């Protein structure tokens, strides 16, 4: 950066340097986020063609205000579709109707009521025994000889098996769905070449057809699972979900419903082991775990940016944003905003307001699966703490992440312990 740049010059400089796919930001976006947030509440990124919003109050307001900001763009491919990829999607008849994530009121309100009624607190609470038993099984079978990869051997598969159990899908699909979910993250939130994008479009077609066939089977032979409840659900006066809308809900669950929790578990172990006193503290007093998990969510959110579109001209400080603009909300920066979180770079397990993070979004779209993700993180950490009091991270390890705009978590995490 040049010295002594004026306000507009500094903002231009920040906008030019914002490269979410560059090595520096993939490695650690937080120093840049802090710098951008201190300089300006908003800037326009030519590279992404999005207005980038940096501060907690603004990010929360955009998420909250469904009248002025639409969620319609949240699932659009960041890189516009090339003609080949478009053709693949057209021929595959992939047209997920908006249901939850990329829908707006009143249609979202109806779909969300039905999804809430199917995804009950009781259904979540019932998962605790399954989560604990599966964690213990993976530890017994896969954590051997004093070494393991926490992602490969536990966090990669567990959340997928949990969500499969909820929606009624067979465990045998786990490898197919995990691969498909990663490809979908790269398709929607990556910046693939045309050739890669076309291949990823084919994967999207395969995933969509798989979901359609599964929902069709459930429509014909309903059971006791979430999918069957979703298809049975009716919103007073507004009717039920179409089969296509139910497929869209499942698509959300089969992508974001486990990749994000894999990242949360990886991030939680990483932050708690950075300083052994944290690991020891939650082992000795597991009642401290729920707030520790909130602090992990705050300091290292699995989804660190999210999108909206303005429906009217808006202002962020002195910066005017036109109607119809794509906005990129820096959830990661908002969670480190010193106006809300004192000493924001410090990992503080006892932070009183850790739950003010925006990692699950805010308002009408707030994450449907947040209680399940919290439960999974708590149970896994309880079990790991019990089994491995002296767990440590390989000192040579360096965090690698998938190259996406929004999803962030370690792809591997080598750990060791004394046998
Ligand atoms: C650590 C784990 C997770 C994180 C960080 C996370 C994060 C998010 C975020 C940021 C949103 C967007 C909110 C908004 O637009 O305001 C969201 C929505 C959503 N999440 Fe999660 N999520 C997680 C786990 C899950 C799980 C386990 C499920 C499945 C049960 C799930 C299902 C959904 C659904 C269906 C939506 C759309 C809700 C709507 O638009 O009404 N998520 N999540």
pLDDT at residue 93, as a whole number: 95
| 147 CA from centroid of ligand 1 (Å) | 32
Pocket test for ligand 1, best of 114, 211, 367, 379 (most atoms within 8 A of CB): 367
**How far is the first Cα of the chain from the last one, in angstroms, to the nearest whole number?**
50
- The structure tokens listed for 340 are 């809300």
| Helices (H), ranges, 143-242 | 150, 158-167, 174-189, 194-220, 226-232
Cβ atoms of 92 and 209 within 8 Å: the answer is yes
A 10 A CB-CB count for 83 gives: 9
pLDDT at residue 233, as a whole number: 85
Cβ atoms of 102 and 73 within 8 Å: the answer is yes
Sorted by sequence, the CB contacts under 8 Å of residue 153 that are 6+ apart come out as 138, 142, 143
Closest residue CA from atom 5 of ligand 1: 302
Closest residue CA from atom 23 of ligand 1: 260
Residue 385 zone, left/alpha/beta (φ > 0; ψ -120 to 50; rest): alpha
Which parts of the chain register pLDDT below 70?
1-5, 419
Pocket test for ligand 1, best of 268, 368, 371 (most atoms within 8 A of CB): 368
What is the atom index within ligand 1 of the atom nearest the CA of 103?
40
Domains for the chain: give ranges and CATH numbers.
7-416 (1.10.630.10)
What is the atom index within ligand 1 of the atom nearest the CA of 331?
10
- The structure tokens listed for 331 are 């959830």
Sorted by sequence, the CB contacts under 8 Å of residue 154 that are 6+ apart come out as 135, 138, 139, 142, 143, 148, 265, 380
Return d(Cα 290, Cα 94) in angstroms, integer: 39
For 120-136, write each residue's pLDDT tens digit: 999 999 999 999 999 99
Pocket test for ligand 1, best of 131, 162, 256, 265 (most atoms within 8 A of CB): 256
pLDDT at residue 239, as a whole number: 80
| 297 CA from centroid of ligand 1 (Å) | 13
pLDDT at residue 295, as a whole number: 98
Cβ atoms of 66 and 363 within 8 Å: the answer is yes
**Cis peptide upstream of residue 106 (ω within 30 degrees of 0):** yes
Return d(Cα 39, Cα 24) in angstroms, integer: 19
Closest residue CA from atom 36 of ligand 1: 367
Alpha-carbon dihedral of residues 327, 333, 334, 340, nearest 10 degrees?
-150
β-strand partners of 327: 51, 308
Q: In this structure, are strands 42-45 and 69-70 parallel, antiparallel, or unpaired? A: unpaired
For 332, the 3-state DSSP assignment is helix
* CA contacts within 13 A on the Cβ side of 362: 23
Closest residue CA from atom 8 of ligand 1: 360
Task: Tell me, rounded to whole angstroms, the distance of Cα 146 from its chain centroid.
Answer: 31
- The structure tokens listed for 349 are 């397990």
What is the atom index within ligand 1 of the atom nearest the CA of 301?
5
Whole-Å CA distances, 362 to 35, 57, 74, 351, 359: 24, 11, 14, 20, 8
Closest listed residue to residue 182, CA positions, set 164, 212, 160: 160
Whether this prediction's pTM lies above 0.85 is answered by yes
pLDDT at residue 5, as a whole number: 66
Sign for the CA dihedral angle at 126, 153, 360, 300 comes to positive
Closest listed residue to residue 111, CA positions, set 98, 92, 123: 98
- The structure tokens listed for 216 are 């069709």
Return d(Cα 274, Cα 376) in angstroms, integer: 21
What is the atom index within ligand 1 of the atom nearest the CA of 263?
1
The H or E element containing residue 18 is none
| 253 CA from centroid of ligand 1 (Å) | 8
What is the atom index within ligand 1 of the atom nearest the CA of 306?
10
List ligand 1's pocket residues with C-beta within 6 A.
Answer: 63, 71, 100-101, 112, 163, 252-253, 256-257, 260-261, 264, 301-303, 306, 359-362, 365-369, 372-373
pLDDT at residue 85, as a whole number: 98
Return d(Cα 396, Cα 292) in angstroms, integer: 25
β-strand partners of 303: 407
pLDDT at residue 1, as a whole number: 43
């Amino acid at each position: 950066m040049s010295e002594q740049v004026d306000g507009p010059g500094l903002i231009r400089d920040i906008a030019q340097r914002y490269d979410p796919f560059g090595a520096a930001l993939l490695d650690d976006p937080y120093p840049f986020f802090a710098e951008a947030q201190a300089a300006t509440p908003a800037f326009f990124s030519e590279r992404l063609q999005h207005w980038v919003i940096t501060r907690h109050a603004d990010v929360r307001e955009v998420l909250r205000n469904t009248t002025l900001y639409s969620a319609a763009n949240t699932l659009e491919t960041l890189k516009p579709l090339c003609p080949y990829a478009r053709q693949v999607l057209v021929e595959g008849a992939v047209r997920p109707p908006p249901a939850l994530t990329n829908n707006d009121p009143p249609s979202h309100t109806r779909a969300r009521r039905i999804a809430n009624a199917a995804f009950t607190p009781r259904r979540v609470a019932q998962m605790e025994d399954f989560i604990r038993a599966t964690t213990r099984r993976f530890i017994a079978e896969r954590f051997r000889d004093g070494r393991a990869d926490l992602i490969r051997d536990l966090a990669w598969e567990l959340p997928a098996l949990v969500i499969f159990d909820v929606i009624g899908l067979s465990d045998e699909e786990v490898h197919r769905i995990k691969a498909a979910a990663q490809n979908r993250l790269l398709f929607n939130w990556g910046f693939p070449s045309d050739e890669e994008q076309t291949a990823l479009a084919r994967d999207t077609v395969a995933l969509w057809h798989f979901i359609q066939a599964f929902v069709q089977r459930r429509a014909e032979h309903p059971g006791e699972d979430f999918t069957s409840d979703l298809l049975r659900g009716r919103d007073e006066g507004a009717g039920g979900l179409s089969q296509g809308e139910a497929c869209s809900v499942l698509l959300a669950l089969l992508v974001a419903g486990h990749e994000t929790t894999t990242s949360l578990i990886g991030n939680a172990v990483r932050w708690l082991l950075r300083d052994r006193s944290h690991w020891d503290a939650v082992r000795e007093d597991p009642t401290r775990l729920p707030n520790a998990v909130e602090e992990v969510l705050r300091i290292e959110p699995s989804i660190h940016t999210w999108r909206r579109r303005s429906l009217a001209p808006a202002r962020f400080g002195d910066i005017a944003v036109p109607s119809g603009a794509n906005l990129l909300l820096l959830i990661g920066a908002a969670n480190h905003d010193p106006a809300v979180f004192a000493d924001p770079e410090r990992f503080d397990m006892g932070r009183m307001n850790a739950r003010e993070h925006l990692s699950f979004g805010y308002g009408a779209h707030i994450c449907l699966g947040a209680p399940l993700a919290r439960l999974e993180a708590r149970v896994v950490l309880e079990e790991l703490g019990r089994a491995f009091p002296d767990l440590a991270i390989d000192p040579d390890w360096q965090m690698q992440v998938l190259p996406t705009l929004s999803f962030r978590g370690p792809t591997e995490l080598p750990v060791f312990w004394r046998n």
